[in-house]
Amino acid sequence: MNTKQSHFIRAAVLDDAPAILAIFQQGDPFAVTTNRQDCISLLDVMEWLETATDKHPMLVVESHGEVLAWCSLEPFYGLPAFDKASEFSLYVAPEYQHRGLGKQLVHYLSQHQHDIGFTHLIAFIYASNVRSQGFFAKQGFEQWGLLPNIAQNGSVTEDIHLFGKEFDALS
């Protein structure tokens, strides 16, 4: 008997929105602010899901009906010259971190790169999130830049590191 917990990757659906929001709020120190108008809400996540496409998907890792992790690809920049580059976001519920779920999502995207249609993935990572920086580096991403003091939450500011990975050119 296989005792390994089975989980799979699938496209996110609207019913996943509460779980996606909860994971996001636990993984992003700037997701919750003292000003409720500045917080990412369930409606925001529902909008993310509604705008997801085959070229800019939102995916979840699910096990036994529970969303454990999610990722999304979004347009990197609004000009046609950047159409093959995607902003990559990845979040894993804290209790499921260090179990290979993030690696599984990166591998899935790598395997489906030609179907999705990207040549570059770019991740924006808080300077204080050293674990995430290490994770992305282990997945072959390199630090491509730094945006000093760009993230703001009240009186707190933080640098953002740009991590990127170039994939095979699309034919």
| Residue-level pLDDT at 155 | 80
- Between residues 31 and 66, which one has the greater pLDDT? 66
What domains appear along the chain, each with residue ranges and CATH number?
8-166 (3.40.630.30)
Report how far residue 102's alpha carbon sits from residue 91's, in angstroms, rounded to the nearest whole number: 8
Helices 130-138, 101-111: crossing angle, 10 deg rounding: 40
Report how far residue 86's alpha carbon sits from residue 76's, in angstroms, rounded to the nearest whole number: 5
Report how far residue 170's alpha carbon sits from residue 139's, in angstroms, rounded to the nearest whole number: 20
Give the residue-averaged pLDDT of 125-147. 96
Tens of pLDDT, residues 79-123? 999 999 999 999 999 999 999 999 999 999 999 999 999 999 999
Residue 7, pLDDT > 90, answer no
CB 20 within 8 A of CB 60: yes
DSSP 168: P
| Residue-level pLDDT at 32 | 55
| Residue-level pLDDT at 40 | 84
| Residue-level pLDDT at 35 | 52
Tens of pLDDT, residues 16-62? 999 999 999 887 766 555 555 567 889 999 999 999 999 999 999 99
